[in-house]
Amino acid sequence: MSNASASAVVEEVTQEKEPGKKPKRQPRYHVILWDDPEHTYDYVIRMMKDLFHMTDTAGRKLAEQVDKTGRAICLTTTMELAELKRDQIKAYGADPMSMKSKGSMYASIEQAP
C-alpha cells in the first residue's frame, strides 16, 4: 500500500463529527412485572434480588406495588437489556413456596414516554 492511500484511510477514519451535535439517545423501555395470585412476596423479593440486584426493602416495595396496582416497573433501560430482563423473569421458574405456582411470573416491555 502506498503512503498516499494509507494516509487517505487514516484521514477517513479520524474525521470528527459535526461540532455541537449530540449523539442521538436510544429510546428507553420499561420492564413491567404483572401480578398473579400464584406467587408469594418472598418469591418476588428473591427474584428482584437475583435478577435486578435490588435490596430486600426495594424488592418488598416492588412486590407491594405489583399486588396493589397489578403491575410494577422493575427497570427502565435500552430495548436489548429490557428484552433480556423480561426473558429472565419469564424463565425464573415456579414459586417453591406456593402450591398454586406452576411457572414463572409474567413480564412485558413497553416504550417509556
Q: Where are the domains of the chain?
A: 27-111
Spatial distance between the Cα atoms of 95 and 102, rounded to a whole number of angstroms: 8
Do 82 and 30 meet the contact criterion of CB atoms below 8 Å apart? yes
Q: Output phi, psi for 77, to 5 deg.
A: -160, -165
**pTM (2 d.p.):** 0.76
Cα Dmax for the chain: 74
pLDDT in tens, 3-20: 444 444 444 444 455 667
Query: 27-111: which CATH number, 3.30.1390.10, 2.60.40.10, 3.40.50.720, 3.30.300.30?
Result: 3.30.1390.10
pLDDT at 45 over 90: yes
Count, in order, helices (H) and strands (E) of the chain: 4, 3
Q: How confident is the model at residue 21 (pLDDT cuts 50, 70, 90)?
A: confident
User: Could you tell me where the beta strands, DSSP code E, fall in the chain?
Assistant: 29-34, 71-77, 107-111
pLDDT in tens, 59-108: 999 999 999 999 999 999 999 999 999 999 999 999 999 888 889 999 99
* Three-state secondary structure call for residue 99: coil
